[in-house]
Amino acid sequence: MSTRVLERTESGCVVKRTVLPGGLRVITEQVPGVRSASVGIWVGVGSRDEKPAVAGAAHYLEHLLFKGTARRTAVEIAQQIDTVGGELNAFTAKEHTCYYAHVLDEDLPLAVDLVCDVVFDALLTEADVELERGVVLEEIAMRDDDPEDLLHDAFCGALLGDHPLARPVLGTEQSITAMSRTALNGFYRRRYTLPTMVLAAAGNLSHGEVLRLARKSLRARLDGAGRPAAPRAGRARIPLSPRLVVHQDDTEQAHMMLGVPAPNRHDERRWVLGVLNTVLGGGMSSRLFQEVRERRGLAYQVYSSVASYADTGHLSVYTGCQPDHLGEVARVVREVLADIARNGVSAEEVTRAQGQLRGNLVLGLEDTSSRMSRIGKAELSYASYLTVQQTLDLIGAVTPAQVAALAGELLARPVAAAVVGPYAHADDVPVEVHEVIAS
């Protein structure tokens, strides 16, 4: 076991990394002058790692692990974190799950013990599986009542076809209803292995203290070699033909998302993609916001976003508008995309986008939860560390020519789209939406 210092700043922040026996990676950021601490266990398991028969298992587990362990009941878990005024929670994504706690610095031992307890020693009783099944089904129903959530899942299906990345993180009503305790427990035991995990902590703490607490909580689990991680689903295969998915819903607005495949998170152009996304629809000065909302008043909300996975990604545009405006909105979006693809972006736009990205990054690190998330996710995704200054430098090095080249490549690709609104069939959607896909 060896410990490496990854960063030491003038303000006294220190980032260190250790790999414990069994393969658990521990990364911490000591932040002087704060009175809080955040700790999280990042598990490299998400919805893309599920087979169709257990679609939604990763998220289902996220619920179940808080229902009780060998040492604590669900009530005791809740009472202990509430007693210290802390937060204990979790979230599931396409490629990872995170269990985290945010507490006063003096309560770090409790936070580490609680997070380790729920992640490694959950009971997953039959009674809890049945009880939480109803809660997850309610969450799916709530998603189905939210047009934006429904739209995002529909768009992923349109773009990624039958790849596991296209599946909803929550699973489906059918898969959750049919999932057994045996299937869930098997998924848990196979996938939650030390080599797939990162323990990250940030705040008024020391690296040595976190290592001591982790060893105390995990004990014999750290002895010997860790069980290898189960293989991840194969590389994403993007459908060759553009698709339009329409979901009929009795909504006051029509919701549209369209987009194209984009570089994966390991692509060196990810910094260029971030600038392109910001120019396109990342703020109030963006092309889409100015053209769709400010100059024409066609929609209240319009933005673009980027998703980056291990082997693919996407650049997408969202807007919600009156159904009568959907055709014109689609036409304007098409024109904006075509103009950037053909003419690139200005130096002024790039400078403005870089400033926005740098500000968002630095301002987003004002609390220990954000710092814990940054170092934990980076270790899980890249097994490497970039300092804040290195990241700012990479953003600042992006040129208008690089943005233009990437825009010309991405925006020439076939467009996938999804629409949620009062449309029974694809033929009912305005022709301009079909033209965006065909262009």
271/294 Cα distance (integer angstroms): 28
Tell me the C-alpha to C-alpha distance, in Å, between residue 175 and each of 52, 179, 200: 8, 6, 32
Q: Any residues with CB less than 8 A from the CB of 339 and at least 6 apart, and which?
A: 287
184/128 Cα distance (integer angstroms): 12
Tell me the C-alpha to C-alpha distance, in Å, between residue 29 and each of 26, 110, 116, 385, 394: 10, 18, 19, 12, 22
329/297 Cα distance (integer angstroms): 10
286/259 Cα distance (integer angstroms): 17
Beta strands in 214-333 (DSSP E): 244-248, 254-262, 301-308, 313-321
Chain center to CA of 409: 25
Q: Which tokens hold the place of 212?
A: 């001591």
399/378 Cα distance (integer angstroms): 25
Answer for the pair 166, 200: CB distance below 8 angstroms, yes or no.
no
Q: Any residues with CB less than 8 A from the CB of 427 and at least 6 apart, and which?
A: none
63 backbone dihedrals φ, ψ, rounded to 5°: -70, -45
275/195 Cα distance (integer angstroms): 34
439/434 Cα distance (integer angstroms): 9
Find the catalytic residue in 7, 29, 50, 62: 62
77/61 Cα distance (integer angstroms): 16
Residue 62 annotated to the active site: yes
Residues labelled as active-site residues: 62
